[in-house]
Amino acid sequence: TKNNDSSWIKSTCAYCGVGCGIEAKVQANGKLEVRGDEEHPANLGKLCSKGLKLGETVTTQGRMLSPSVHGEDCSWDHALSHVASTFSDTIAKYGQDSVAFYVSGQLLTEDYYVVNKLMKGFIGSANIDTNSRLCMASSVVGHKRAFGEDIVPGNYEDLELANLVILTGSNLAWCHPVLYQRLKAAKARHGTKIVVIDPRETASCEIADLHLPLFPGSDIALFNGLLAYMAKLNQINQKYVEQHTEGFDEALELAKRFSNITSVSLATGLKTADIETFFQWFRSTPKTVTVYSQGVNQSTSGTDKVNSILNCHIATGRVGQPGSTPFSITGQPNAMGGREVGGLANTLAAHMEFGNPEQSELLSEFWETSNLATKPGLKAMNMFEAIETGKIKALWVMATNPAVSLPESNRINAILASCPYVVVSDCVESNDTLKYAHVRLPAQGWSEKSGTVTNSERRISRQRRLLPTPGMGKPDWWIVSEVAKKMGFEKQFSYRSELDIFNEYVEQTRLGNEVGKSTARALTLESLSGMTPENYQSFAPRQWPAKDGVCPERLFGDGNYATPNGKGRFVAVDFKPPALSLSERYGLILNSGRIRDQWHTMTRSGLSPSLSENDSVPQLEIHPFDAADRGIKDGHLAKVISSIGEQIFIAKVTSTVSVGQCYAPIHWTHTNCSDGKVCTVIPSNTDPFSGQPEFKATPIEVKSV
C-alpha cells in the first residue's frame, strides 16, 4: 500500500499551524515529490495548495551557502568566534540586557529550546522574543489568565463533533485550509451550523450559515453581549461556575453594559436580528466550538477579546468537552512548540513563570546555571525601540524577516541600520533583514533540518531530513550551541544531535509537575523520557500531555484547571475601540492578512511558479462606493496614505470588504516588489498585556495615482 513504500519519508509541512503530515520522495532529478500522509491525525492524507507545492520550493538557488563577516565569506569557526566575542564583549561592557535575540515560529522546538537556554539561562537576560509575538501572544496571555497555563483545551476532531462552529477573526479557508476542509466535510455529513465573524466576506463565508461583518475591533461588545444574554435567560451553567470557576460576577457586571441587543448593534454595526440569531444558536447548541485567530489576536485589545470569548465558554461549561470548546488556532508551523519552551520574552521554559522563586530555583538547578534571567525581557516592539535608543547594541535575528513583517517597517529598517551589531541566521541569501547583517550565518531549511514541531492541537510531529544541505548550512541548534560554547558554556551546550536536546526538553517538562503543588501542570512529556535514536526517528505524531503513557485528548473537561487553586478564571473585560480612530484626513480602515497561496514574506512560497499564478501583485481591496468616491478604478494603481507612510497597491474593487474598509496582503517586501509593503503604513500600537501589534485597524486614506 501507499504507506508501505519505504522510499517515502514522513515529515511535516513547512507552513501553517494545522501541522499537516507529508510524505516525500526524492526523484531522480533531485526534486522532491510531496504527498499527504494518510496516517497523520491532523490531515489524514490531505494537503492544501501550499503543502502540495512544497516540492517546487526546494531549490539550491538563492541559498546562503557560507558564513560571512562584514561581507567576506569565512569559515564557521571565524564567524562563530566573531559572534561569541562580540556578544561577550558587549555584555561585559554594557550588561546582559544590551544584547537581544529575535527568533521565529519557523524554528524547530530543539532550536527554540537551545536559544532560550542560552539567553535566559546563561546570558541572564530575557531579551529574546519571537515573531509569535505578531501571531499568538494575545492568546497566550488570555489562556494564562483564564486557564492558568497557555493551553488549547481541544482537538481538531472537536470541529467535526460540534453542532455549531464559530469562526471569529479566522479566515480558516485560506489560512488553515486543511482544517477548513475537515469542517466543510463535517457540515456536509451532519449539517454543522457555521457562523463567521469577520469584517470581510472571506472565502470561509462559503460555508457560513450566518456572516457577522462586525466593525473592526468590536468583538468584545459582541461576546460581552452574548454573556449578558445567556445570564439574562438563565443559561449559565451555575453548578459548573460555582464549583469550578471564580470571577464570574465581576465579568458579568462589565458584560451587562451590552445586555441590550441594540447596544451590541450600535457598537458592532451588526443587525439586531443577526445578533439575536447568533445568540440563540449559541444558547441552544451545547456542542459549540469557537475558533479564533489573528483577527482576534492582532489588536490593541487582543487579550481582552480572547478572554471575552473564553468567558462565554467557561460560563456554559463548554471547555475541553468533545465538540465543545474554545479553540485558538496558531499561524505558524511551530508557534506552539516555541511557546512550550518559553520562546516569548515574558515566559520561561516548560510553562514556568518569572517571579516564582521555586520555579526559578528548579530551573537553575536543572540547567546548572547561576545566571538565570530574573525578569521578563522586552517584547518585540519594545526590543526594537531599545535598539533605537541605544540600550541594545547587538541583535541576533533567526529565521524571520522583521524588516518587513513588523509594523512601522520603515522605522524598523532605520533601527536595524543603526544597530551596532546585527547577526542574521537564515537559509536564503537575500531578504530585507539580511541587508543589515554584519554577520550572516547559513542555516538549514525545511527538508534539510531535523527535529520536532507542535501544531495547534498540541500534537508533536517530526520534521525529518529529506535532502542534503547545500553549501555550509547548519542546524540552528548547532549554530547557537557553538556560540554558547565559545562564550564559555561548553558543558551545558555539548549536544551531539537534536535528539540530545529533545531528551533534555522532555526531562525539563517534569519540573512543571514539581511546582505549584496544588495542581499538576498540563505540559508534561514524561512518558517520552529517554528516547533512543530509533524511537526518535520513528516517532509518530502525538499530543501532550504525555504522562504514564496516557494522553487525555482534551484538557479541563473535568473542571480542573491549571491555576493554583484549580479553578477556571473569568476575566472582567470591557469593550475599547481600536487605538486609532477615523478622522477627516484618514476616512477608511485598513485590515491586513494572508492570501490563500502565499506565506509570510514569500521567501519559500514565492519560489513555486504555480502558487504565484494567482494574486501575483499586491492588491488593495476597496468597496465600490469608496472607490467611486475617490475615482479609483479596478486594476489601476491606488496610493494608501496613513499617518506614518504611503504605499502603492493595485486596486481591487470588491464588495467583499464593507463600505469604509480596505484589505491588503502582508506578503510583499522590498525584495520581491517595489510596492505593496503594507507594514510601511501600519503604526506600532500594541495590546497592553500581550504586546501584540494591531494589524487589523489602521486609519488610512486612498488616492488614485
Which alpha helices (DSSP H) does 120-209 contain, by range?
A: 137-147, 157-161, 172-175, 177-190
Pick between residue 316 and residue 605 the one whose CB is nearest to ligand SF4.
Answer: 605
CB atoms within 10 A of CB 540: 13
Pick between residue 12 and residue 698 the one whose CB is nearest to ligand SF4.
Answer: 12
Residue 177 interacts with ligand SF4 (CB under 6 A)? yes
- Could you tell me the smallest distance in angstroms from the CB atom of residue 178 to ligand SF4? 4
Q: Which of 55, 14, 63, 71 is nearest to 427 (CA)?
A: 63
- Could you tell me the smallest distance in angstroms from the CB atom of residue 295 to ligand SF4? 18
Rounded Cα–Cα distance for residues 302 and 139 (Å): 8
Pick between residue 47 and residue 590 the one whose CB is nearest to ligand SF4.
Answer: 47
Pick between residue 16 and residue 141 the one whose CB is nearest to ligand SF4.
Answer: 16
Contact present, 373 and 367 (Cβ < 8 Å)? no
From the list 43-51, 484-492, 549-557, 668-676, the region that binds ligand SF4 by CB under 6 A is 43-51
Pick between residue 15 and residue 282 the one whose CB is nearest to ligand SF4.
Answer: 15
From the list 10-18, 109-117, 366-374, 480-488, the region that binds ligand SF4 by CB under 6 A is 10-18
Place of cell 501571531: 135
From the list 102-110, 175-183, 471-479, 500-508, the region that binds ligand SF4 by CB under 6 A is 175-183
Residue 135 interacts with ligand SF4 (CB under 6 A)? no
Q: Is 640 helix (H, G, I), strand (E, B) or coil?
A: strand
From the list 41-49, 347-355, 463-471, 696-704, the region that binds ligand SF4 by CB under 6 A is 41-49
| Residue in the shown chain whose Cβ atom is closest to ligand SF4 | 51
Pick between residue 43 and residue 96 the one whose CB is nearest to ligand SF4.
Answer: 43
From the list 46-54, 243-251, 301-309, 491-499, the region that binds ligand SF4 by CB under 6 A is 46-54
Place of cell 501550499: 50
Residue 19 interacts with ligand SF4 (CB under 6 A)? yes
From the list 40-48, 115-123, 194-202, 424-432, the region that binds ligand SF4 by CB under 6 A is 40-48
Pick between residue 14 and residue 228 the one whose CB is nearest to ligand SF4.
Answer: 14
Q: Which of 32, 47, 167, 251 binds ligand SF4 (CB under 6 A)?
A: 47
Calculate the alpha carbon distances from 664 to 7, 468, 620, 693, 697 in Å: 42, 37, 5, 16, 11
Residue 159 interacts with ligand SF4 (CB under 6 A)? no
- Could you tell me the smallest distance in angstroms from the CB atom of residue 600 to ligand SF4? 11
491 Cβ neighbours under 8 A, 6+ residues apart: 368
Contact present, 340 and 256 (Cβ < 8 Å)? no
Pick between residue 40 and residue 393 the one whose CB is nearest to ligand SF4.
Answer: 40
- Could you tell me the smallest distance in angstroms from the CB atom of residue 16 to ligand SF4? 3
Pick between residue 160 and residue 482 the one whose CB is nearest to ligand SF4.
Answer: 160
From the list 17-25, 186-194, 236-244, 465-473, the region that binds ligand SF4 by CB under 6 A is 17-25
Q: Which of 142, 150, 102, 579 is nearest to 380 (CA)?
A: 102
Rounded Cα–Cα distance for residues 444 and 260 (Å): 56
Rounded Cα–Cα distance for residues 262 and 101 (Å): 48
Contact present, 437 and 416 (Cβ < 8 Å)? no
Residue 156 interacts with ligand SF4 (CB under 6 A)? no
Contact present, 460 and 45 (Cβ < 8 Å)? no
CA 495 to mean position of chain CA atoms:
28
User: φ, ψ for residue 408 (rounded to 5)?
Assistant: 55, 55
Here the cell at position 640 is: 494608501
Q: How many residues bind ligand SF4 (CB under 6 A)?
A: 14
- Could you tell me the smallest distance in angstroms from the CB atom of residue 44 to ligand SF4? 11
Contact present, 381 and 684 (Cβ < 8 Å)? yes
Contact present, 297 and 331 (Cβ < 8 Å)? no
Contact present, 428 and 132 (Cβ < 8 Å)? no
Which alpha helices (DSSP H) does 453-594 contain, by range?
A: 476-486, 498-514, 533-537
Contact present, 159 and 166 (Cβ < 8 Å)? no
Q: Is 255 exposed, middle or buried (0-12, 13-18, 19+ CB in 10 A)?
A: buried
Residue 178 interacts with ligand SF4 (CB under 6 A)? yes
Axis crossing angle, helix 302-315 with helix 248-255, rounded to the nearest 10: 110
Residue 50 interacts with ligand SF4 (CB under 6 A)? yes
Q: Which of 24, 34, 48, 397 binds ligand SF4 (CB under 6 A)?
A: 48
Q: Which of 26, 40, 51, 460 binds ligand SF4 (CB under 6 A)?
A: 51
Q: Which of 63, 145, 176, 351 binds ligand SF4 (CB under 6 A)?
A: 176
Pick between residue 463 and residue 684 the one whose CB is nearest to ligand SF4.
Answer: 463
From the list 171-179, 575-583, 614-622, 637-645, the region that binds ligand SF4 by CB under 6 A is 171-179
Q: Which of 8, 10, 11, 15 binds ligand SF4 (CB under 6 A)?
A: 15
- Could you tell me the smallest distance in angstroms from the CB atom of residue 373 to ligand SF4? 33
- Could you tell me the smallest distance in angstroms from the CB atom of residue 173 to ligand SF4? 10
Pick between residue 461 and residue 680 the one whose CB is nearest to ligand SF4.
Answer: 461
Q: DSSP character for 682?
A: -
Q: Which of 291, 73, 75 is nearest to 194 (CA)?
A: 291
- Could you tell me the smallest distance in angstroms from the CB atom of residue 255 to ligand SF4? 35
Q: Which of 8, 11, 18, 135 binds ligand SF4 (CB under 6 A)?
A: 18
From the list 108-116, 173-181, 189-197, 226-234, the region that binds ligand SF4 by CB under 6 A is 173-181
State which of positions 312-341 bind ligand SF4 (CB under 6 A).
none
Q: Is 6 exposed, middle or buried (0-12, 13-18, 19+ CB in 10 A)?
A: exposed
Residue 203 interacts with ligand SF4 (CB under 6 A)? no
For the chain, the straight-line distance linking the first and the last C-alpha, in angstroms and rounded, comes to 58
Axis crossing angle, helix 272-284 with helix 261-268, rounded to the nearest 10: 120
From the list 9-17, 356-364, 462-470, 517-525, the region that binds ligand SF4 by CB under 6 A is 9-17
The torsion of the CA quartet 399, 400, 403, 408, rounded to 10 degrees, works out to -160
Which H helix or E strand runs over 418? helix 409-418
From the list 12-20, 73-81, 109-117, 349-357, the region that binds ligand SF4 by CB under 6 A is 12-20
- Could you tell me the smallest distance in angstroms from the CB atom of residue 70 to ligand SF4? 37
Binding string, 345-384, against ligand SF4, x = CB under 6 A? Answer: ----------------------------------------
- Could you tell me the smallest distance in angstroms from the CB atom of residue 54 to ligand SF4? 8
Residue 682 interacts with ligand SF4 (CB under 6 A)? no
Residue 302 interacts with ligand SF4 (CB under 6 A)? no
Rounded Cα–Cα distance for residues 336 and 354 (Å): 19
Pick between residue 20 and residue 141 the one whose CB is nearest to ligand SF4.
Answer: 20
Q: Which of 262, 143, 257, 140 is nearest to 574 (CA)?
A: 257
Residue 13 interacts with ligand SF4 (CB under 6 A)? yes
From the list 15-23, 131-139, 605-613, 667-675, the region that binds ligand SF4 by CB under 6 A is 15-23
State which of positions 475-514 bind ligand SF4 (CB under 6 A).
none
Here the cell at position 565 is: 487553586
Rounded Cα–Cα distance for residues 111 and 104 (Å): 10
Residue numbers at the binding site for ligand SF4 (CB under 6 A): 13, 15-16, 18-20, 43, 47-48, 50-51, 176-178
